[in-house]
Amino acid sequence: MTLDTHLENKESRRSLEFTDDDSIEITIAPNAGACFGVVRAIKLGQQAVDKGKPHSTAVFSFGAIVHNPKTISDFEKQGVKTVEDADAVTSGTVILRSHGVRKEIEKDFKSRGVQIVDATCPLVKKPQKIAASLASRGYFLVLVGDANHPEVKGVLSYFGTKNYLVTYKPEDIDNIPIEVTKVGIVAQTTIEVKVLNIIIEKCQKKYKDIAVYNTICDATSIRQEEAEVLAKKADVLIVVGGKNSSNTNKLVKICKQFQPETYLIEEMVELDPLWFQGKRKIGVTGGASTPQDYVDSVGDRIAEIVSSLI
């Protein structure tokens, strides 16, 4: 039995293919790991930290800058304090998380003279602007997503009226007030494409005046497509990412539909050798909030574990 870990060069280790032979392979999805919005947020956050150091300026992050525990820990070690209450920031610099914040919170920071570093992903700003436009045109908003997610709360603040429904469930469309005649559909950037399409289809059957905006980011769609391909081929699949990350949990949900032996880990210490016992085709993917080099490191660690089992 040979161990082909596909770790000798970065090009070959990231693939959606396994060989047809009996070799043991560890294949990492080509786009697994941090998307450009997360990379951008981390870069802006680091710049804020570096700028504040010479002047001992306090640096805060309003909410988790990205939904990845390792990244948050790295920033905390540099003195960045993550806060959930805007009143906790009275001076210094505040980094607005990649998922965005409610409109009134940003306004409040500005009114108090707090220095703002806006790390909101540009693709998150898109549904914010669309929501504001739909409100000005008198549309009822159907926001497909998680009502408790910070991105969704931010989008709703830009919509600014109570004429909305936040849901993942197509059947909830029947609960829209009977007087509504025109509906605008916007999506949380990290939801499943299939869920959005089902809700769009139901609304199209019910309303003549419907405005549809697919605001799911390409990074999310691509990672979901790759996860499905790997899950169909792998004997076991590892998803690397924050357990509080929406896009990461969607990957787990998708993978489990095709490969029940799908496991979500935040840290390498969570890897269980029993998961790989007797497995030959091992797939790895990572959420859009997870640094790519960390996903690669997980692949390396799995290779060590598998080697010890042979």
- pLDDT digit string (tens) for 186-221? 999 999 899 999 999 999 999 999 999 999 998 889
Q: How confident is the model at residue 57 (pLDDT cuts 50, 70, 90)?
A: confident
Domain 3-34+219-309, what fold? Cobalt-precorrin-4 Transmethylase; domain 1 (3.40.1010)
Mean pLDDT of 79-84: 95
Mean pLDDT of 51-78: 91
**What is the spatial distance between Cα 102 and Cα 86, in angstroms, rounded to a whole number?**
11
Domain 36-121, what fold? Rossmann fold (3.40.50)
Mean pLDDT of 154-163: 96
Long-range contacts, 158-161 (Cβ 8 Å, 24+): 158/103, 158/128, 158/129, 158/131, 158/132, 159/131, 159/132, 159/134, 159/135, 160/103, 160/132, 160/135, 161/135
- Given this chain, do its domains 3-34+219-309 and 123-216 carry the same CATH topology? yes
**pLDDT of residue 6 exceeding 70:** no
Coil, strand or helix: which one is 238? strand
Q: How confident is the model at residue 21 (pLDDT cuts 50, 70, 90)?
A: confident
Q: Where are the domains of the chain?
A: 3-34+219-309, 36-121, 123-216
Active-site residue set: 151
* Cβ atoms 61, 83 nearer than 8 A: yes
**What is the spatial distance between Cα 232 and Cα 258, in angstroms, rounded to a whole number?**
5
**pLDDT of residue 303 exceeding 80:** yes
Q: Report the pLDDT value the prediction gives residue 20, as an integer from 0 to 100.
A: 86
pTM of the shown model: 0.84
For the chain, the farthest-separated pair of C-alpha atoms sits apart, in whole angstroms, at: 67
What lies within 8 Å, CB to CB, of 150 at 6+ separation is 63, 97, 99, 100, 101
Q: How confident is the model at residue 12 (pLDDT cuts 50, 70, 90)?
A: very low
**What is the spatial distance between Cα 273 and Cα 276, in angstroms, rounded to a whole number?**
6
Mean pLDDT of 239-245: 93
Average pLDDT, the chain: 92
Q: Report the pLDDT value the prediction gives residue 1, as an integer from 0 to 100.
A: 34
Q: How confident is the model at residue 93 (pLDDT cuts 50, 70, 90)?
A: very high
For domain 123-216, the CATH class is alpha beta
Mean pLDDT of 86-112: 94
Mean pLDDT of 243-256: 93
**Residue closest to 123 by CA, chosen among 67, 68, 189:** 189
